[in-house]
Structure 1
Amino acid sequence: MYRVYATLTFVFVIDDAESELAVLDLIQVLVEVLDKCFENLNYIIDEIVVDGMVTETNINEIVSVLKSMNDYALEK
């Protein structure tokens, strides 16, 4: 089962014992929590994946770019 939000696709493997509606609700809650905890979740993913290809896996580099973007946004 999957659900697409913006540029993110969340995939869950479930069996017949699971309620599809409950899993869709779980995905919705997960997306909302991620959005609140990581306001720039799409920016994080954009730093790692470009056009469907993984372009950066160095955590320090990713965090450095995101901090720079955040600092720039705070200056404005």
Structure 2
Amino acid sequence: MLHFVVLVNKQGQTRLAQYYEYLPMEERVAMESEIVRRCLSRTNSQCSFFQFKKYRVIYRRYASLFFVVGADEGDNELSILEFIHNLVETFDKYFDSVCELDIMFNLERAHFLVDEMVMNGHIVETNQKNIRTPIDLLDKMS
């Protein structure tokens, strides 16, 4: 089960945060800052996952953004890395080569795409066309 999906930039600023369990805001901020500090301090030769409290943190860096997912300890890290890659590809196709500014200025669209993929902490859709169809319909109506 996924507990959170967070996108942060290289400076450690959160650009998108989606939580699937309740955490008070103070705990979220403290947890995000500690996780980001650990992600930024790791080298390219280190693996892309580590244990943080009760979470298995899996992350991947694309350009200036870190895509960070907190999962259960028993979850398959490689499948979460594939989920992250699929999320990035979906963002790329929707935003035409996604960048940090696309996320910042279209935050509701980014949340909508994540919501189409994950429901209550479980990955429910991986087909990029199925993920983009509802938001494309919304865009046509606008």
More strand by share: 2
Distance 1:64 1:4 in 2: 24
More helix by share: 1
CA RMSD of aligned residues (A): 3.7
The match for 1:19 is none
The equivalent position to 2:40 in structure 1, one of 7, 11, 14, is 14
Which secondary structure does the structure 1 equivalent of 2:126 belong to?
Answer: coil
The match for 2:132 is 63
How many residues in Structure 1 have an aligned counterpart in Structure 2? 60
Between the two structures, name the one with larger relative contact order (CA 8 Å, sep ≥ 6): 2
Give CA deviations for 1:50-76 in whole Å, capped at 9, x if unaligned: 11111110001111121012223x1xx
TM-score of the superposition, structure 1-length normalised?
A: 0.53
Distance 2:13 2:105 in 1: 21
Percent identity, aligned pairs only?
18
Give CA deviations for 1:24-48 in whole Å, capped at 9, x if unaligned: xx77xxxx62122565110010100
Find the structure with the greater CA-based Rg.
1
Distance 2:108 2:14 in 1: 20
TM-score of the superposition, structure 2-length normalised?
A: 0.32
Question: Hey, which bits of structure 1, 4+ residues long, moved more than 6 A?
Answer: none
Could you tell which deviates more after superposition, 34-43 or 50-59? 34-43
Structure 2 residue 109 is matched with structure 1 residue 40: yes
